[in-house]
Amino acid sequence: MSGNEQLARRVRELRTQLGWSHEQLAVALKAVGIPWTRQVVAKLENGRRQTLTIEELHGLAFVLDVPPLALLYPIGQNTMVEVLPGRTVDAWDAAMWFTGEARLPLMPGEGKSRYSREFVMIGLLRRHDELVRLWGSCDQSRDLMRTIRATREEMRGHGMVPPELPSGLLLR
Is there a domain that residue 63 lies in? yes
Specify the pLDDT at position 2: 77
Strands 87-90 and 80-84: antiparallel
Pick the more confident residue, 78 or 41.
41
Is there a domain that residue 7 lies in? yes
User: If you compute the radius of gyration of the chain from its CA atoms, what whole number of angstroms results?
Assistant: 21
Residue finishing a domain among 43, 72, 101: 72
Specify the pLDDT at position 71: 93
Is there a domain that residue 21 lies in? yes
Pick the more confident residue, 133 or 110.
133
Range of the structural domain that residue 137 is part of = 117-157
* Same domain flag for 7 and 64: yes
Cβ neighbours, 10 Å, residue 81: 22
Cβ neighbours, 10 Å, residue 170: 8
pTM of the model: 0.75
Tally of structural domains, the chain: 2
Lowest mean pLDDT among 13-27, 59-73, 156-170: 156-170
Is there a domain that residue 112 lies in? no
Cβ neighbours, 10 Å, residue 14: 19
Is there a domain that residue 55 lies in? yes
Which pLDDT tens digit goes with each residue over 112-129? 666 677 888 888 888 888
Which pLDDT tens digit goes with each residue over 44-87? 999 899 899 999 999 999 999 999 999 998 877 778 888 888 88
Is there a domain that residue 142 lies in? yes
Which pLDDT tens digit goes with each residue over 26-37? 999 999 999 999
